[in-house]
Structure 1
Amino acid sequence: MSPERKKLLNIIILGFGFMFMFTAFQTCGNIEQTVIRSFNSTEFHGSGYTSMAIIYGVFSASNLIAPSVVTVIGPQLSMFFSGLVYSGYIAMFIHPYTWSFYTASVLVGIAAAVLWTAQGNVLAINSTDNTIGRNSGIFWSLLQFSLFFGNLYIYLAWHGHVHITDKDRQTVFISLTVISLVGCFLFFLIRKPDPESSPSPEVTESLLPSEYMESSTASSSSGSSLWSQALDAFVKACKMFVTKEMLLLSISIGYTGLELTFYSGVYGTCIGAMTRFGTDAKSLIGISGICIGLGEIIGGGVFGILNKNNRFGRNPVVLLGLITHFVAFYLIFLNVASDAPLAPEAGTDLEAYIAPSVWLALFCSFLLGLGDSCFNTQLLSIVGFIFRDNSAPAFAVFKFIQSITAAVAFFYSNYLLLHWQLLILVIVGFLGSISFFVADWVAESSKRDSDYHSI
């Protein structure tokens, strides 16, 4: 197999591993607030929004140490052990307790930082300047199939259910736990790229397959050397955070954290709370997730796979994402009751400004997914393009910014009505897009200058 095909196969395996894991976890996040509202037990007092705020808050802080962990144990084992923690969080819902719920939230926050830093590392190792856009699109499309399969299962399992019983909950979460574990073990199929085609020999060594790990460890430098590398990775992450390019990108990265919270946790809860959508409102959460997934898949395919070598540039794609999201936010404002995010299990009988339409709500779900894919594929591309030689700390900073804004958004989702949440998204989305355009111009100018001086 040629070096390029081996790298492409690694990207595809990476995408399938994340697809299985996040089929379970994203579905869990989409339904957990609705499930919690249906608990009969008076001993459980958790909140899905609070849990997600904890996850993303811890995620944010843990991103500062994640490059060190990936440096010490390598991206392959980092993704595997992180995936086991994700599976444990999902399994907790089979027999939930308040203490285990919030403890698992903290652990998932730590695991998420390691998982996504390792993912960015593997993506960069297996990409070149010419293939980073394509590979980002392939990975993103495969990842977002998770929304399709998981939410289709929720729709079929809960169709016609006004109340979610304990048996309904246990059946769903046992299935999701098994699916998540399948994704964990897929990471062991990722293989080391050929050294001569690898952009960074130091980082490539950390991607050795499991059968090479023992001999590699035996012949490696002492433990103190490993810790020295870990400290160096931490210092690099801190320095990278204050670079001109990362500061410019931070607003657009922060926006993806806010809208991630909205489409993955808040909007599905809103749909499930709209009693005017009929008795199938709860199962519509699953259909909404499928529509979001379709938007993500189409966006990832069109703007990632087909846009080879950045032929059309990144800025037009981000502008399309901004317009798509603005249309979605306006239609949601007209269609969904303002108190829907905070409604009790019985739901809300209020209307917004038009007669509630199920089809319009699902169309907005599609637009949310399409716009999100525009932003994320281009952010993955530009971060991998600018910081390819230091990919682990760069993606750690990326996730640090994204997760801290997601934590803030999940926190205020406990208190703010829908129209205030939409207003925040509009303002930050506009500012984030402008900052992205400037960052892309700076990155391309730097590359042109570098190419000119190398002649």
Structure 2
Amino acid sequence: MSPEGKALLNIVILGFGFMFMFTAFQTCGNIEQTVIKNFNSSEFHGSGYTSMSIIYGVFSASNLIAPSVVAVIGPQLSMFFSGLLYSGYIAMFIYPYTWSFYTASVLVGIGAAVLWTAQGNVLAINSTDSTIGRNSGIFWALLQFSLFFGNLYIYFAWHGHVHITDEDRQTVFISLTVISLVGCFLFFLIRKPEPEAAPSETSEPLLPTEISESNSTTGPSSVGLCSQAVDAFVKACKLLVTKEMLLLSISIAYTGLELTFYSGVYGTCIGAMTRFGQDAKSLIGVSGIFIGMGEILGGGLFGMLNKCNRFGRNPVVLLGLITHFVAFYLIFLNIASDAPLAPEAGTDLQAYINPSVGVALLCSFLLGLGDSCFNTQLLSIIGFMFRDNSAPAFAVFKFIQSIMAALAFLYSNFLPLHWQLLILVLVGFLGSLSFFVSEWLAESSRLDSDYDSI
């Protein structure tokens, strides 16, 4: 197999590994609050919302140390052990205890930071300037299939269930744990990418436990593991304050805000609309399916069209901005303002049009499509601009994104829907402008590099 084919296969395996893991984890996240409410035990006092707050809080703090972990044990083992933490969190629901629930939440927050930093590193080292956009799209499309399968499971498995029994819970979470473990072990199929100058090294083992992303020939024997860890942490801190990352930070912040909106707030709004009828709660799963369809279409489309795109990344981001603005406007018209804050019985209020399930699901699709526009292009430009420091760069990316997601979860507890939409519109507009400037800087750098090499 050619080096490019081998690298592409690595990206596909990476995508499938994440698809299996997040099919299990996202399904777990969607149903855990319902499961907790139906869990008949006076000894368990956990809250799904509190768990998510802990996960995102620890996630954001752990992103600055994640490059050190990846530097010490390598991206492959980093993803495997992080995946085991995800599987442990899911398995905890088989026999849940309050202490194990919140302990697992902390561990998943740490594991998430290491997992996504290692993922960004694997994406970068298996891509070139000409394939980074395609590979980002392929990975993103495969990952988002987890939204489709997970929410499809929610809709069909528990449709019409009034109470979730202990047997139902144990069966589901045993299955989800197995699915998650399959994703973990898929990471061992990823092979070390071949250096362009040494195509004969086809018998190299799996990804090395040490990372040296520079062009230096200094081997791991001359640099201790502790020094590598400290160096990775320092690089992450330095990258955080560079001009390029500060510009991209507004776009990254927007992805954190809209991640919270489409993954948590919007589904809650749909389920709270009593005017959607008795199936309003089950529409949460259908909405997730439509979000996944938008994510998959966007990731696959932008991946396939990458080589044909002569205009750079800006048109895709502009498409994402327009798509989201259309979705926000339709949501503003279709969903009652108090829907995010409505009690368990829901809200009887009406927005500016007669509530339509079709419009609500169209907005779900548009939210997913727009999200794929922003995320695929951010993965692409970060992999391009910070190729020599990809692990710290993707750690900073997740650090900013998770902080903003945690902030959004916080204000979603008391801000009406219309105020939340206004925040998304303002930050989305500013984030797109900052991305356009970043793309212009990246293109100028590429042209200067091409000129110098002549």
TM-score by length of 1: 0.91
Give runs of aligned pairs for residues 46-445 of structure 1, distance below 5 A: 46-196=46-196, 207-208=207-208, 221=221, 225-308=224-307, 310-445=309-444
The question of whether the paired residues in 1 share the 8 Å contact of 2:77 and 2:209 is answered with no
Paired letter, 2:247: L
Give the deviation of 1:198 after TM superposition: 8.4
Q: Structure 1 pair 36/338, CA: closer, same or farther in 2 (3 Å)?
A: farther
Deviation at 1:42, TM superposition (A): 5.4
Q: Is the 8 A contact 1:50 1:411 kept in 2?
A: no
C-alpha displacement of 1:158: 1.7
Does structure 1 conserve the Cα–Cα contact (< 8 Å) formed by 2:60 and 2:400? yes
**Distance across 2 between alignment mates of 1:47 and 1:388:** 40
DSSP 3-state at the match of 1:428: helix
Partner of 2:9: 9
What amino acid sits opposite 1:14 in the alignment? L
Q: How far apart, in 1, do the equivalents of 2:303 and 2:360 lie?
A: 27
Report how far residue 197 of structure 1 moved: 5.5
Q: Kindly tell me: are residues 309 and 126 of structure 1, through their superposed partners in 2, closer, same or farther at Cα, counting changes over 3 Å? A: farther
CA offsets 1:195-247 (integer angstroms, 9 cap, x no match):
33589x9xx9982399xxxxxxxx9538x701111111111111111111100
Q: Aligned in 2, Cα 1:407/1:292: closer, same or farther, shift over 3 Å?
A: same
CA distance in 2: counterparts of 1:126 and 1:197, whole angstroms? 15
Counting aligned pairs with the same residue, the percent is 86
The equivalent residue for 1:216 is none
- Residue type at the aligned position of 1:421: Q
Residue 146 and residue 337 in structure 1: after superposition, are their counterparts in 2 closer, same or farther (change >3 A)? same
Q: Deviations over 1:145-185 (max 9, x none)?
A: 11111111111012223454544444333322221111011
More helix by share: 1
Counterpart code for 1:143 = L
Q: CA deviation at 1:440?
A: 0.7
Deviations 1:86-115 (A, max 9, x none): 111122233333333222221111000000
In 1, Cα distance between equivalents of 2:307 and 2:430: 27
1:279-329 CA distance string (max 9 Å, x none): 222222211111001000100111122222643311111011011111111
Worse-matched range after superposition: 180-189 or 410-419: 410-419
Relative to structure 1, the CA distance from residue 56 to residue 283 in structure 2 (aligned partners, 3 Å threshold; closer, same or farther) is same
Q: Decide whether aligned partners of structure 1 residues 99 and 420 sit closer, same or farther in structure 2, where only a CA change above 3 A counts.
A: farther
Matched residue of 2:147: which SS?
A: helix
Work out whether residues 326 and 426 of structure 1, in 8 Å CA contact, stay in contact via their aligned partners in 2.
yes
Q: CA 1:198/1:30 → structure 2, altered by over 3 Å: closer, same or farther?
A: farther
Question: Residues of 1 paired with 2:209 and 2:60: CA distance?
Answer: 29
CA gap of 1:108–1:289, structure 2 versus 1, over 3 A, is same
Q: How many residue pairs align between the two structures? A: 443
Runs of 4+ in 1 over 6 A off after TM superposition: none
Q: Which moved more, 1:263-272 or 1:357-366?
A: 263-272
Residue identity in the other structure for 1:129 = D
Instruction: Compare 313-322 and 22-31 and name the one that shifted more.
Output: 22-31
Once the two structures are superposed, residues 27-84 of structure 1 have per-residue CA deviations (whole angstroms, 9 ceiling, x without a partner) of 2223334444555545544433332222112111111110110010010110001011
Unaligned runs of 5+ in 1: 211-218
How many Å separate the matches in 1 of 2:117 and 2:191? 18
Retained in 1: the 8 A contact 2:334–2:354?
yes
- Identify the residue that residue 213 of structure 1 maps to in structure 2: none
Q: Is the 8 A contact 2:188 2:206 kept in 1?
A: no
Q: How far is 1:135 from its partner?
A: 0.4
Gap change, CA 1:433 and 1:239, over 3 Å in 2: same
Q: Secondary structure at the match of 1:193?
A: coil
Structure 2: distance between partners of 1:272 and 1:35:
16
Task: State the distance in 1 between where 2:357 and 2:138 align.
Answer: 31
Asked if 1:446 is matched to 2:445, the reply is yes
- The 8 Å contact of residues 50 and 410 in structure 1, kept in 2 or not, is answered as no
What is the DSSP-based 3-state SS (H/G/I as helix, E as strand, rest coil) of the residue aligned with 1:414?
coil
For residue 441 of structure 1, report the CA deviation from its aligned partner: 0.6
Query: CA RMSD for the aligned pairs?
Result: 2.4
Residues 418/163 of structure 1: CA separation in 2 closer, same or farther (3 Å cut): farther
User: Residues 208, 296 of structure 1: CA spacing in aligned structure 2 closer, same or farther, 3 A cutoff?
Assistant: same
